[in-house]
Structure 1
Amino acid sequence: MPKILSVKQLYEADAATVKNKNISFIDLMEHVGILCFEWIHARLQGSQINIQIFCGTGNNGGDGLVIARHLKQYGYNVKTNIINCGNERSDVFLKNYDRLKEIGVWADMITCETELPEISENDMVVDAIFGLGLSRKPENFIKKVIQHINASNAYVLSIDFPSGLFAEKAVTDKDSVIKAYHTLTFQSPKLAFLLPENRIYTKTWEVLEIGLDKEYIYNAKTSNYLLVKEEIKPIYRFRDKFSHKGDFGHSLIIGGSFGKIGAVSLSAKAALTMGSGLVTVHIPKCGYEILQTSIPEVMVEVDGDNELQNFNFEVLPSVIGVGMGMGTKTTTANGFKKFLNTNKIPLVIDADAINIISKNKKLIELIPENSVLTPHPKEFERLVGKWKDDYDKLEKLRLFAKKHKIIVVLKGAFTAIAHEGELYFNSTGNPALATAGSGDVLTGIITGLIAQKYHPFEAALLGVYLHGKTAEIGMETEVYETFVASDIIKNLSGAIMDLFKKEPPIAESNPEQTTDTKKTKNNDDEEMYI
């Protein structure tokens, strides 16, 4: 599973690569710069668009100079700008500056006194000012350069990291950060790209595999991972020819109230479609006819007239999904508290069940170990309180799940799954999932997987991944606005089949020779091509 490494670990990986592969750091930088050049060249195909490269005087600027040299040698219309305003120059920057001059190219020096170069909205800007190691916000002249680039409306490609963005802490001045259209980041996904508060700083991003030392990366300790297909495929279980419905468990879905029977209907349908052998719903009497006619495959038990009161189900389920559309009225809340006091069956807890717990946090102690909570951010805030920024939110998520020995699925663009102190960020999905009932379906999917004896953590990983993939499949024939929650259920089969679809092999990258790039795309928008 792709590790999300820290800045310190990435620097150590660079050093390990240089040592173990017996190459110099400038050779590694040359390799990385060539990979970036190849990415640009593959998309521009010799176009004579104006390319303006803005370089700092550190290692990120050195990457920019390598890119500039190769673009120039391939005949591109390149203007290289070096921000020379009192900053120290790294050794590899100076060497690459000399290499650029050796081919007869002299960069334009931008000093604190010079006017900034004009940038057309039709230009392409390559941002190579600052990299991962930035520890304080850009100020004064450097901030002015960043604002100048942002105001141009040009296509901005950031190299490794948008300049001014911090890798491991929150931005304190939004006007001092490059707003890139796309970022080519190296070797490892960056945690900063997965946080909602940073979404304005790069619309899309991808990882270039640059061939850093495999042994170091394998042994590197981290608590953050990106969830991708290669790690999901082994979780999925194929069925035996002689299996029967009793082998695949019994899901109980508890929820619903007057006017909100749709939520529990979606969860039940999702659990059934995901493969639960049997599904029973426990709902208020007002939803009886709706469930019996809309989903004939499920069994129905009833409670109070218009809301749940007693939670007095009669079946013996393998797992219980609870909370969807059930409301938080006093009678329902009291019945739910009594249920938690006696229940020992694994739970998938969503929506109003979370809201009831958040009003009486002592109830958290009654949740069985390895149960799954599926809050959206506001529901999670009710559980743990407000956070300073998204980094603080993730720390609260990590600690909350570990303390209570549960799995928490914090829904969002990169849904984060917390388990035993580690976070797993989902790579599938798109804004089509921002639709009513999407979370109800996810709860049903995870419940249906646990019924089939998937460990709750595995069920959360697989369920979240497939849930996101259904939206990607849906966008092959639809647009975001027309995609609804029932489409998630409809596309589940396609999402599972996609796990085993053969894809062309990708050449491995080696810093000692130039190869094709290997990449991981983000899940926000379509990849942007120039």
Structure 2
Amino acid sequence: MKIFTAAQIKALDAFTIQEQNITSSELMERAATACFQWITSHYPIQKPILVLCGMGNNGGDGLALCRILIQHGFSAKAVILKHRETFSDDASHNLTSLHHQAPDDIQILEPGSFVTGIDENILVIDALFGTGLNRALDEWTAEFVHEINELPNEIISIDIPSGLPSDVLPTKNAAVIEANHTLSFQLYKRSFLHPESSKFTGKIHLLHIGLNEKFIEATHSQYKIIDKQVVKEIYKPRNSFGHKGNFGRAQVVGGSYGKIGAITLAGKACAKAGAGLVFTLAPSCGNNIIQTTNPESMFIASGEKFINEIKVNKSINAIGIGPGLDTEAATKEALLQFLETNEKPLVIDADALNLLSENEEHLLKLKYAAILTPHPKEFERLFGTAVDTMFQVEIGRAKAMKYNIHIILKGHHTAVLTPSGECWYNMTGNAGMATGGSGDVLTGILTALLAQGYTTKDACLLGVYLHGLAGDLAANELSEESLIAGDIIDYLGKAFLTFKD
């Protein structure tokens, strides 16, 4: 699924209207009907509803929705903010239609007025301002939004919470409706996928309104969603006549005294994600732990308490390095020497990233397109701070192109950034995965996929989706609170089975 800008969505609407030979009011009616259907499937007809409408097209959606609700027996009322001189054509059309049907259920608020005395049982629908808003709310409209946010009522935003931009993130203290649910139309807005917006959007629901698929397919976007359809096209079922040699030799490198658990998790995940053979290079102090807890992995010793040399057999197909590695001087020297000559597909995580961050020019040593998997703080150490998470992604895109690397910027919607400038947001995963060792598991999964012959990009897309999906399956059964990194490994099998649906 692609992510479009507000301008592209406007063009998509216009193309749909022209191609399907419908009016803009008819498309608005589709949107309002889709919202009505969602509301009726979640709330009883006895639920009183207040629809807050602006004078633009988002307000038109709200006016149409209010009319449909009343037609079907709901107790609904529209409150219109007179925030400009004239209504948009479609909003005016729907105001007229609503007035003919229920003139007593419309209230127009003059500037400076507010809604007061709302019973907390009333469901509030936000249809004040949509994607056409091109500036932050101020004065009366901003104060009105702040007043609504103070109410205890449940709020549903239509298309986008009023005051939230589509293509950038709101400034600190911006006036934005804080919705419990957002009913958006067919495609995600990019701002929905960043943590700064989560308190505004609540739970997001995409409603299909028949927007033109040809336009969506033909229109370019560097921003996309990793969903089941994407990964099912990537996933390669096993050859029934294959043997362990056909599914790749993977080597994970890491661990130090007190941090052997990290590389153990990476090795276990690597085996569970399908690598034919897994080798674990770690200090000798981890031998007994790794051989006992992960007997599927073959152990290679390097150093006593920390790694002092990185040895890789020519038969190895992919390498994952960093979990529990530590930042000893000898380990740093070993890492840099290894990068000088390595030509294997490579995943770099954790302390390996921290060692590279001491000098960004170290990234020039990556002769083979590598995968870097930083969380936001590791990203900052590598590439500097950013004003917000969306700008952080933009920095990551630039660095991925500059150094010909893939960057997996971990978070709730993990972003995969490619050397061609693409940004793929992942839609699996949950807050229970914010636990020690979760990133080590991802390193193992990615290394296994590379070893099996997936391209670097495909390994990234499939790997983060699998990682998040296994976490979701585990959380569904165990709860987010009790989820630990090892549970993600245990549920990888069930995650793979979903590709066979």
In structure 2, the residue matched to 1:241 is 240
For the 8 Å contact 1:346–1:368, the answer to whether it is kept is no
Corresponding residue for residue 56 of structure 1: 54
Give 5+ residue unaligned stretches, structure 1. Answer: 502-530
Describe the SS at the equivalent of 2:306: coil
Residue 468 (1) aligns with residue 468 (2) = yes
What displacement does 1:394 show?
A: 1.5
Q: Residue by residue, what CA displacement relative to the aligned partner does 1:395-447 show, whole Å, maximum 9, x if unpaired? A: 11111111111111111000000111001111111111111100000000010
Aligned-pair CA distance for 1:390: 2.3
In the alignment, the residues of structure 2 paired with residue 360 and residue 278 of structure 1 have an alpha-carbon distance, to the nearest angstrom, of 34
Moved more, 116-125 or 56-65: 116-125
Checking the alignment, whether the CA contact within 8 Å between 1:426 and 1:465 is kept in structure 2 is yes
**Compared CA separation, residues 14 and 314, structure 1 to 2 (3 A):** closer
Q: State the Cα distance separating 1:312 from its structure 2 match.
A: 3.1
Deviation at 1:169, TM superposition (A): 2.0
Equivalent residue runs for 1:336-355 within 5 Å: 336-355=335-354
Mean Cα displacement is larger for which, 487-496 or 79-88? 79-88
**Residues 119 and 149 of structure 1 are in contact (CA less than 8 Å); yes or no, is this contact kept in structure 2?**
no
> 1:115 offset after TM fit, Å?
4.2
- The DSSP-based 3-state class of the residue aligned with 1:207 is strand
Report if the CA contact (8 A) 2:126-2:162 is conserved: yes
User: What does residue range 177-196 of structure 1 map to in structure 2 within 5 Å?
Assistant: 177-196=176-195
Q: Partner residue of 1:151?
A: 150
Summarize the alignment of residues 282-301 of structure 1 with structure 2, pairs less than 5 Å apart.
282-301=281-300
Structure 2 partner of 1:127: 126
Q: CA deviation at 1:500?
A: 2.5
1:3: Cα distance to partner? 0.6
1:313 Cα shift?
A: 4.4
1:315 Cα deviation from its structure 2 partner: 6.2
Q: How do 1:111-510 and structure 2 match up within 5 A?
A: 111-314=110-313, 316-419=315-418, 420-501=420-501
**Range with greater deviation from structure 2 (304-313 or 226-235):** 304-313
The answer to whether the Cα contact below 8 Å between 1:84 and 1:112 also exists between their aligned partners in 2 is yes
1:369, distance to aligned residue in structure 2 (A): 3.0
For 1:72, the equivalent position in structure 2 comes to 70
Whichever residue aligns with residue 128 of structure 1, its letter is A
- C-alpha distance in 1, partners of 2:415/2:114? 45
Query: CA separation in 2, counterparts of 1:180 and 1:367?
Result: 45
> What's the CA shift for 1:241?
1.9
1:162-205 deviations in Å (ceiling 9; x for gaps): 00011122312535100011101112111000011111111210
Q: What is the Cα deviation at residue 479 of structure 1?
A: 1.1
The correspondence for 2:83, drawn from 76, 82, 85, is 85
Q: Offset of 1:43 from its aligned partner?
A: 1.4
Residue type matched to 2:466 in 1? L
Structure 2 vs 1, CA of residues 437 and 242 (structure 1 numbering), >3 Å: closer, same or farther? Answer: same
Aligned length: 499
CA deviation vs aligned residue, 1:97-143 (integer Å, no higher than 9, x gap): 00001113341111124342322332211000000121111111111
Note the alpha carbon deviations across 1:223-266, whole angstroms, 9 max, x for none.
Answer: 00011101111211111221110001111110000000000000
Q: What is the distance in 1 between the residues matched to 2:415 and 2:244?
A: 32
1:28 corresponds to 2:13: no
**Residue identity in the other structure for 2:5:** S
C-alpha distance in 1 between matches for 2:240 and 2:84: 72
Q: Deviations over 1:328-368 (max 9, x none)?
A: 11111111111111211111000011111110222101113
Contact 2:428–2:465 at 8 Å: present in 1 too?
A: yes
Q: Which stretch shifts more, 365-374 or 311-320?
A: 311-320
Specify which of 86, 92, 95 is matched with residue 93 of structure 2. 95
Higher relative contact order at CA 8 Å, sep ≥6: structure 1 or structure 2? 1
Mapped partners of 1:25, 1:233: distance in 2: 36
**Structure 2 CA distance, aligned partners of 1:308 and 1:121?**
62
Equivalent pair of 2:246/2:452 in contact (CA under 8 Å): yes
CA distance in 1, matches of 2:259, 2:288: 14
Whether contact under 8 Å (2:343, 2:368) holds in the other structure is no
Distance 2:113 2:412 in 1: 42
CA distance in 2, matches of 1:122, 1:151: 15
Amino acid at match of 1:103: Q
DSSP 3-state at the match of 1:428: coil
Query: C-alpha separation between the residues in 1 aligned to 2:217 and 2:157?
Result: 27
Matching residue's letter, 2:74: Y
SS in 1 for 2:353: helix
CA contact (8 A) 2:370 2:405 kept: yes
- Alpha carbons of structure 1 residues 113 and 246: separation in structure 2 relative to 1, 3 Å: closer
Give 1:69's aligned amino acid.
Answer: R
Q: Give 1:86 deviation, angstroms.
A: 3.4
Partner secondary structure for residue 234 of structure 2: coil
Q: For the Cα contact (< 8 Å) 1:127–1:159, is it kept in 2?
A: yes
- 8 Å CA contact 1:345–1:368 kept in 2: the answer is no
Question: Matched residues in 1 for 2:114 and 2:266: separation?
Answer: 60
Structure 2 residue runs without a partner (length 5+): none
* CA RMSD, 1 decimal: 1.3
- For the 8 Å contact 1:371–1:406, the answer to whether it is kept is yes
Q: Residues 314 and 497 (structure 1 numbering): CA distance in 2 closer, same or farther, change over 3 Å?
A: closer
d(CA) in 2 for partners of 1:446 and 1:176?
Answer: 41
Give the TM-score normalised by the residue count of structure 2: 0.97
3-state SS, counterpart of residue 285 of structure 2: helix
SS at match of 1:180: coil
Q: 1:104 aligns with which of 102, 105, 108?
A: 102
